[in-house]
């Protein structure tokens, strides 16, 4: 998920919460996960395995969802094996520490919300420090739309109309069941609707309509005509209504998000995790499941957890075949990382946060508020949906020239400050083939129940299965921990 420009504007015009308010909110977020974590319930029970009859589970994928599920099941005594095609842990979470001396930045999943309960609780469990993002509320927020930078008066008007539009979504989201949205009132009708039609019906200026279109499409990484309104309402309800806009992107993990993947893997145990081992076949039988890997080895188990993104499932043969409609829509998103000499935008009293309608959707500083002083920062240009498609269509020098041209429109001093760049083209990564998910019209009600209940011995985890936190790292973590909890309950230990 991208960094919401609208959230930054809200803090400018409404002010940021006090430290005491944030402390109380984080405490409430922690409390909301009470009873979810098997790892806490079985923390002091060394013979938990006897309680579940040593059931065997193979987890396919060592991203956040797979590792969270494996950690929780292992804590409850299950015999867990994790198989991962990559040579590293973390999936779409990838921390870089080689771009700027003594600093880190994220090539994939980046931002953590105060309203992300699983992330917050794991951070506490593993003693990971969360650091706040800078809001820049006293600076001018660059908005480059329809060929020019917009005035502060125009930006304020855009904000006012965006807020009114999103408030109407908050009200509609209030009736949604965030855990099982297909059970919500009028779920099928809402799921058939798309966000583009909703945007067309808004009584706002053309400039605000364009800003709303870019904000939602880049956040969700799919064109608004292909975005389920029920999916949007579920994400808003899961994020806490207005808190979805205000608190979903507030923190980063000190030292990088990949630390959490490493901590979860450490708890599972290195001897239970197999890297560089793609899965080629999953056979679901009446009394067991058999997972066959690329090197020919087979692993028999009682249950299989599929925690890889749906965009990669075509690399695996399933027997019996998966239902034809089971693969949810995966969005297109990419990041362009620039090492820059300094925070040059401050010299003209502009913010790191911008919104634009070119090939770049939004910008921010990836090394923001880190304890190590300058020199050197990483500047992030994020693109989603159609804007990402245009960016990904270019390669090499043509791509870099296009990024320089786009960023110079927003920040004229960019060319003289950039020293090196790195492109994160996740849709071109063979083990991802996408950015992150957002359901197409009709998919929440058609696919959601299957993702939730599973198909016999096959179970699903990943941000794409967690509509209330879809697209976020929290969606991966929450889906993995929640699935482990459901399996334990099924087996009489949850």
Residue 282 DSSP symbol: E
Count of other CB atoms within 10 angstroms of residue 237: 24
284 CB-near residues (< 8 Å, 6+ apart): 304, 318, 319, 320, 455, 456, 457, 458
- According to DSSP, the residues that pair with 335 across neighbouring strands are 382, 424
Among candidate residues 339, 341, 390, 340, the one with its CA nearest the CA of residue 361: 390
* 37 assigned ligand-binding residue: no
The whole-number pLDDT of residue 26 equals: 65
Pick the CATH number of 28-92+256-329+437-491 from 3.80.10.10, 3.40.50.970, 3.40.50.450, 3.50.50.60: 3.50.50.60
* 84 assigned ligand-binding residue: yes
Give the CA radius of gyration of the chain. Answer: 22
Binning pLDDT at 50, 70 and 90, where does residue 3 land? low
* 382 assigned ligand-binding residue: yes
Question: Do the bridges between strand 458-460 and strand 303-306 make them parallel or antiparallel, or are there none, so unpaired?
Answer: parallel
Binning pLDDT at 50, 70 and 90, where does residue 43 land? confident
The pLDDT tens digits of the residues spanning 261-313 come to 999 999 999 999 999 999 999 999 999 999 999 999 999 999 999 999 999 99
CA distance 96 to 25: 30
CATH 3.50.50.60 intervals, the chain? 28-92+256-329+437-491
Look at the domain 5-12+93-107+130-251+330-428 and name its fold. Answer: Polyamine Oxidase; Chain A, domain 2 (3.90.660)
CATH 3.90.660.10 intervals, the chain? 5-12+93-107+130-251+330-428
* 420 assigned ligand-binding residue: no
121-134: average pLDDT: 95
The whole-number pLDDT of residue 163 equals: 95
The whole-number pLDDT of residue 270 equals: 96
What sign results for the dihedral spanned by CA atoms 127, 36, 470, 327? positive
Asked if 232 and 169 touch (Cβ cutoff 8 Å), the reply is yes
The whole-number pLDDT of residue 135 equals: 86
Q: Is it the case that residue 47 has pLDDT exceeding 90?
A: no
The whole-number pLDDT of residue 53 equals: 66
175-181: average pLDDT: 97
Type and span of the H or E element at 305 = strand 303-306
H helices of 344-491, in order, are 386-392, 396-410, 443-453, 473-490
* 279 assigned ligand-binding residue: yes
The pLDDT tens digits of the residues spanning 223-257 come to 999 999 999 999 999 999 999 999 999 999 999 99
Mean per-residue pLDDT of the chain: 94
């Amino acid at each position: 998920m991208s960094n919401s420009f609208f959230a930054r504007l809200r803090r400018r015009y409404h002010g940021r919460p006090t430290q005491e308010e944030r402390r109380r909110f984080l405490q409430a977020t922690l409390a909301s996960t009470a009873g979810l974590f098997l790892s806490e319930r079985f923390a002091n029970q060394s013979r938990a395995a006897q309680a579940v009859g040593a059931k065997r589970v193979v987890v396919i994928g060592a991203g956040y969802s797979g590792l969270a599920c494996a950690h929780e099941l292992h804590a409850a005594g299950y015999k867990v094996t994790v198989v991962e095609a990559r040579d590293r842990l973390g999936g779409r979470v990838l921390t870089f520490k080689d771009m700027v001396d003594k600093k880190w930045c994220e090539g994939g999943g980046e931002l953590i919300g105060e309203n992300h309960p699983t992330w917050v609780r794991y951070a506490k469990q593993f003693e990971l420090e969360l650091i706040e993002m800078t809001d820049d509320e006293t600076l001018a927020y660059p908005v480059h739309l329809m060929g020019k930078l917009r005035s502060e008066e125009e930006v304020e008007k855009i904000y006012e109309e965006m807020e009114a539009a999103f408030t109407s979504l908050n009200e509609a989201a209030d009736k949604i069941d965030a855990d099982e949205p297909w059970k919500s009132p009028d779920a099928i009708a809402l799921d058939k609707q798309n966000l583009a039609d909703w945007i067309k019906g808004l009584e706002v200026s053309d400039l605000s309509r364009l800003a709303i279109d870019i904000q939602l499409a880049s956040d969700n990484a799919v064109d608004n005509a292909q975005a389920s309104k029920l999916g949007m309402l579920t994400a808003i309800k899961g994020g806490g209504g207005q808190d979805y806009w205000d608190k979903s992107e507030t923190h980063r993990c000190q030292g990088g998000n990949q630390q959490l993947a490493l901590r979860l893997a450490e708890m599972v145990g290195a001897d239970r995790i197999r890297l560089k081992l793609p899965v080629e076949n999953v056979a679901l039988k009446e009394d067991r499941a058999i997972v066959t890997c690329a090197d020919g080895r087979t692993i028999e188990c009682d249950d299989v957890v599929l925690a890889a993104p749906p965009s990669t499932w075509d690399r695996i043969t399933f027997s019996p075949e998966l239902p034809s409609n089971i693969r949810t829509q995966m969005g297109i998103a990419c990041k362009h990382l620039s090492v820059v000499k300094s925070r040059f935008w401050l010299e003209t009293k502009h913010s790191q946060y911008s919104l634009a309608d070119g090939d770049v959707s939004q910008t921010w500083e990836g090394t923001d508020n880190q304890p190590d002083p300058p020199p050197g920062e990483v500047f992030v240009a994020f693109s989603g949906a159609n804007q990402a498609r245009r960016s990904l269509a270019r390669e090499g020098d043509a791509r870099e020239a296009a990024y320089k041209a786009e960023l110079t429109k927003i920040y004229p001093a960019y060319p003289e400050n950039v020293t090196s760049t790195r492109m994160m083209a996740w849709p071109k990564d063979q083990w991802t083939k996408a950015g992150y998910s957002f359901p197409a019209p009709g998919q929440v009600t058609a696919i959601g129940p299957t993702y939730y209940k599973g198909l016999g011995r096959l179970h699903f985890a990943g941000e794409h299965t967690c509509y209330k936190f879809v697209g976020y790292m929290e969606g991966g973590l929450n889906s993995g921990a929640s699935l482990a909890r459901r399996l334990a309950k099924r087996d009489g230990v949850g």
